[in-house]
Structure 1
Amino acid sequence: MARALLLTGYDAKRCARRIHNEWDPAVEVVPWEVPAELQMRFDAGIAFEESVFAELVAELGPDRCIDLSDVRGKANAVARTLAAMDEGIEVILGGWLPDDIVGGRTGKPDVLLRVASGRYVPGDVKGHKVMTRRAKGTLTYSTFSAPGTQLQVDGLAAVTTGRFDDHLQLAHYWRMLEAIGRAPDGPAVGFIIGRDNVPNLALSGRVLTWLDLEVPLFETYSRTQGKAKRSALERYDHEQGFRLKVATTAAQGEAALVEPVFTDECDSCPWYDHCRGLVGDDLASAHITAGRLSVREWTALASAGVKDVADLADLDVDDQAFRASYLPEVTHLKDPLGRLRDAVRRARMIRDGIILERTTTGPIVVPRADVEIDFDIEWDPDDRVYLWGALVHRAGAEPVYHPVVSWSELDADGCVAHAEAFAVWLRDQIAAADTAGESLLVYHYSHPEPSYLKRLLGEDAVADLLDRFVDLLALVREHYFGVRGLGIKQVAPAFGFEWRDDEAGGLQSQLWLIEARAAEDEVVRDAGRARILRYNEDDVRATAALRIGMSGKTQDDGE
């Protein structure tokens, strides 16, 4: 008997080719070992969800809230969810809705909230932030103690386009509630509980952020108008309907409706190797990994005969015939020609083996000082900075690496104390330079270093330090274009720098920290710690390589 064709709450936001692969009986299912970094993200999401569930249960009590997460078996979980609805339980956690056979849906919303007798709205717990500051914005929210009472506050707003996937998932669950007659009358809504910390709205800092699924917020392609704004429900119905066609076609063994197009999603997809095997080595979307184009852009290019890296590298963006066929397909996007020009440039760099390309001429003015400190931080999966690393350069002396590190798990107060210890050390360096009549500057790459200092210690409290900071990323952006983007791991090799660890990376270092903290064997623990310190030292040495390389001076030319 053929299995029922049912798509999950995630499928409407997933790659359509992945849906085909999962439903095509002729495609061999290959074992997939989840990469350690991705598994760490999964684990962090599960832990966050568990903490939110525990807080809701503690706040509401057993009469108002039930947690069904531990119920085993789909049929049993569905029955318990429906029974809880019939009992009028206000908040149902970890439930499972009955399959919507007609709509082709299955799903397990994290939260179901009763808003009227027998009527519920869906909610989901997400391990990311879902609100933003907006001067003219208004955030609709509710607290854990009164989840059904909507409140509003000015100056904040729910993130829309940046969290489009959240909207789609809630729309999926809304349609499932409609299918069983459990959705309330009135506008379609749902909520997300994210990682936002807003203690001015709730003592715990956590709230339910409400989303309206019927307001046209999302600008999309329109065949008749070029572009049009549509609601989350409209977008969901379109995406779900198309993926049902894709899955149905695949299940029937017919030719695929979609060919592989590589996007950010592919980097963590179990079908990546399968799709790469289908397209060969030269498909442009598989090679352009920074400034990636959308599926619609790649599809429009393919229709114009542009598929491989060589095709893209040779493309004349200003050709009027090409523009006439291409632009109508992407008119809903912001600056489609600018995006395409960048992709063409990257294709040419890939073809020519270029990592980094200068965009300006003449000398690059890099602020220099008698004492130069390259600075980089590391934080753990709980977003707590445990390592403040610095490389101190003084004229006539070898650079000295100085880490301010805590291997113990830090709480909020510990993070502040640890940041203060680094600030004290840095002020000592500044005072010594001032006494010696020397200038001193601190170099970092991108915003995390000053941002964490300001967040932990207060902007006014570290203003004297920030006056000494130089963000090298701003200089790199001004003068260079990178084939893989302008992250330091992508840029530093162009200046001759290589990390000693082949697996160097921020998320990877978090895994090393977890392993080192958990290790009972002292040798294993010390090896893990040494690996982290070596990685951080390489990060600051990479910053030094950029600073010296851009200024045209080598290490031996003096700092």
Structure 2
Amino acid sequence: MRDVGPADHNLDIVNTSQDARDEASREQAGGAVPPTEGQRRPVLIDPRALTGCRHRVHLDTAHPGTVANVPEDIGVQQRRESARAYREATRERLMAGGAHTWVHITPDAPASERAAATMRACEEGVDRIWGAVLPLEFDTGRRARSELLVRDADRGGYVPVIVVNHKVTDPGSGAVTSGLDEWAPATDPTRKVRAQLRDQFRLAQIYRMLQTHGHASPAALGGAIGYGGECILVHDLAAIMDQYDERFEDRLAVARGERATAPSQVGECRSCPWWPDCSAVLTDARDVSLVATGSRAEVLRGVGVRTIDALAAWEGPAPEEWQGDGFADTVVLAKAWLAGIPLVRRRPDVTVVRADVEVDVDMESYQEHGAYLWGTLLTEAGVAQPYRPFVTWDPVPTSDEARSFAEFWTWLTGTLEATLAAGKTFAAYCYSRSAEDKWLLDSATRFAGMPGIPTVAQVKTFINGPHWVDIYQAVSEQFICPNGKGLKKIAPVAGFRWRDAEASGEASMSWYCDAVGYDGEPDLDQRERLFVYNEDDVRATKVLREWMTDRAVAEVPLASEL
């Protein structure tokens, strides 16, 4: 194994940005000559642009530097840092085996040097190349890098393998996987593919660039090492190359100003620095995407419905191209938006499970590493006891997480059993149970056999039983929510306010890093901040439930009345 370049740090390539243009104008990237003075500045498309917003591609290219000083969304920042750490851990794990010849291209050198080193390693037939950077293609507009290139010993050339910090498979069967140490694709009877078009398009772009230099394996395969790093998921790139080529051609035309775009609300908008500008444009236009986001807005525009006003006036069945249910709700959303109504009842009555003894539960986790805090609030006969957290401040993953989880589970089930033994009713509440269910099951699996840890069967009995109540489900079934169904959107309608103005799930990730001292000494003030945030979440669930019981019918208009 040999290293090429200085010490490691994360390489972040941004799409169609000033950074790309500056790099293109000053470097010969592995032999590709940038345009001379007087020629059109190049546009280079990163694979991430292929599954993102088309209008953002236009804005990033047409107005480089405009949002350069806008603070990066904290969630994006945290995901990037987590991905960097995961890639580095994966590199160390793979290279420790020593069964192959390796070239490690470290990322502090200029991109042109890294690209040249990548090409030299390919020409030498090195088994595995970590940190590969492909030469910039000023003519095609492509740029890409691959965490790993694996030599195809049977057919020659290289297979691109990317390392991503999300799941790429689920339990099941039918996926094609390979082991980490030897490239040997085979059908896997224990895994099924979790579709990730962004991964496939990234691999397709790397493959096209390898083809340019004659270093692509004829097998036309790519791989992805996902969260957990147990295997390489193998993608058949030949099956998606036509789709990739069409998408790339579209984004390149947008970036070059050859195709017009317009703002439209999509999921990406939540973390996009351009959103304040786009939001103002869409609001002024009363654009239909404000209540029917993404592809649903395109369906509506296709039948001539471009404004919220036109959607609110719709009569009759859903458009033929509309996918799934929910069209009637979307029309109601339009009416509520026009009237400024934050919540609409689906039916005359509002019901929610209530009990003699009620426990509100909210869990805090750090990415996929573990659940470090289980917050609880017990209420009996209308009187709430003090907030009670079960926590570990050892950075997760940690064996101490087993202790805090066991204490939480013992207390919760002990309260349940004592309540039923006293002839009273019991209910435990959460808001959007998927996260709590996941960590209940994961904790039982990871810490099986340790003191106080329930079996997976015991957890399943509880979460599938009558005593575990999801208030999010109750809200979804009984209300139409123009501003979204998140707890921080709904609880204020019931009169609840969080004490911390910056409270959010993503902000709490940053607080947690400080609280446990990932980057320095533990910050005790941030620990207290997390307790306050978690306590407010459990109290918000309680306030919302009681409001649904006592006041919702009087305060929320009925959909049929709009």
Structure 1, residues 190-212: CA drift from partner, whole Å, max 9, x if none? Answer: 111111x4xxxxxxx52110111
Instruction: Specify whether residues 298 and 410 from structure 1 end up closer, same or farther in structure 2 by C-alpha distance, changes over 3 A only.
Output: closer
Listed as ranges, the gaps of 5+ residues in structure 2 are 1-36, 445-454, 553-562
Secondary structure of 1:23's match?
helix
Q: Which residue of 1 aligns with 2:217?
A: 184
Contact 1:292-1:343 at 8 Å conserved across structures: no
Change (3 A) 1:504 1:247: same
Post-superposition offset of 1:243: 1.6
Residue 533 of structure 1 corresponds to which residue in structure 2? 531
Contact 1:59 1:144 in 2 (8 A): no
Query: Which of 191, 196, 208 lines up with 2:232 in the alignment?
Result: 208
Provide, for residues 279-326 of structure 1, a one-character-per-residue CA deviation record: whole Å limited to 9, x for no partner: 5634425633xx6232xx53454465533333332334549xxx5xxx
Number of residue pairs matched by the alignment: 500
Q: CA, structure 1 residues 363+83, in 2 after alignment: closer, same or farther (shift >3 Å)?
A: closer
Mapped to 2, the partners of 1:397 and 1:414 lie a distance apart of: 32
Q: In 2 relative to 1, CA 170–401 (structure 1 residues): closer, same or farther, beyond 3 Å?
A: same
Is contact 1:349-1:483 (8 Å) kept?
yes
Contact 1:100 1:179 in 2 (8 A): no
- Partners in 2 of 1:498 and 1:248 — Cα distance? 47
1:65 maps to which residue? 102
**Aligned: 1:4 with 2:42:** yes
One-letter code of the match for 1:260?
Answer: P
Distance 1:303 1:17 in 2: 18
1:430 maps to what in 2? 416
| Residue 388 (1) aligns with residue 374 (2) | yes
Aligned to 1:377: 363
CA contact (8 A) 2:74 2:506 kept: no
Against the structure 1 CA distance between its residues 397 and 247, is the aligned structure 2 distance closer, same or farther, given a 3 Å change threshold?
closer
Q: What letter corresponds to residue 68 of structure 1 in structure 2? A: I
Q: Does 1:334 align with 2:323?
A: yes
**Given the alignment of the two structures, is residue 33 of structure 1 paired with residue 55 of structure 2, yes or no?**
no
Q: Aligned partners of 1:396, 1:334: CA distance in 2, in Å?
A: 44
Report whether the alignment pairs 1:153 with 2:161: no
Equivalent residue for 2:336, pick from 349, 360, 366: 349
1:292 aligned partner: 293
Check the 8 A contact 1:93/1:112 in 2, yes or no: yes
CA distance in 2, matches of 1:274, 1:484: 19
Evaluate the alpha carbon distance shift between residue 402 and residue 26 of structure 1 in structure 2; reply closer, same or farther with a 3 A threshold.
closer
Given residue 499 of structure 2, which amino acid in structure 1 is its aligned partner? R
For the residue of structure 1 that corresponds to 2:223, the secondary structure is strand
Kept in 2, the 8 Å contact 1:97–1:107? The answer is: yes
Residues of 1 paired with 2:316 and 2:243: CA distance?
30
- Provide the rounded CA distance (Å) in 1 between the counterparts of 2:381 and 2:327: 46
Rounded to whole Å, the distance in 1 between the matches of 2:410 and 2:65 is 60
The amino acid across from 2:542 in the alignment is A
d(CA) in 2 for partners of 1:104, 1:284: 33
Aligned to 1:168: 201
Offset at 1:384? 1.1
Tell me the equivalent position of 1:275.
278
Cα RMSD after superposing both structures: 2.8
In structure 1, the residue matched to 2:516 is 517
Per the TM alignment, residue 8 of structure 1 is displaced from its structure 2 partner at its CA by 1.7
Task: Flag the 1:300–1:438 CA change in 2: closer, same or farther, 3 A.
Answer: closer
Contact 1:17 1:260 in 2 (8 A): yes
Residues 371, 440 of structure 1: 8 Å contact kept: yes
- Which stretch shifts more, 445-454 or 120-129? 445-454
Change over 3 Å in CA distance of 1:411–1:8 after alignment to 2: closer
How many angstroms does 1:123 deviate by?
1.6
- Among 138, 143, 153, the residue aligned to 2:174: 138
Shift of 1:235: 1.5
- The Cα offsets for residues 226-264 of structure 1, whole Å up to 9 and x where unpaired, read as xxxxxx2121111111122222236xxxxx511122211
Offset at residue 127 of structure 1 (A) = 1.0
Counterpart of 1:549 in structure 2 is 547
Structure-2 change in CA distance of 1:479 and 1:26 (3 Å):
closer
In structure 1, the partner of 2:12 is: none
Counterpart residue number, 2:448: none
Q: CA deviation at 1:434?
A: 4.4
Are the equivalent residues in 1 in contact too, given 2:137–2:143 (CA < 8 A)? yes
Residue 266 of structure 1 deviates from its aligned partner by 2.1
Cross-structure match for 2:388: 402
**Residue 233 of structure 1 aligns with which residue?**
241
Q: Is the 8 A contact 2:366 2:396 kept in 1?
A: no
Aligned partners of 1:539, 1:64: CA distance in 2, in Å? Answer: 52
SS at match of 2:238: coil
**Rounded Cα–Cα distance in structure 2 between residues aligned with 1:396 and 1:287:** 40
Counterpart in 1 of 2:28? none
The 1-side partners of 2:519 and 2:361 are apart by 31
Structure 1 residues without counterparts, runs of 5 or longer: 198-204, 216-231, 251-255, 555-559
Q: What is the aligned-residue identity percentage? A: 29
- What TM-score, normalized to structure 1? 0.82
Q: Show the counterpart of 2:457.
A: 460
Contact 2:150/2:159 (<8 A) preserved: yes
- Which of 334, 342, 359 aligns to 2:346? It is 359
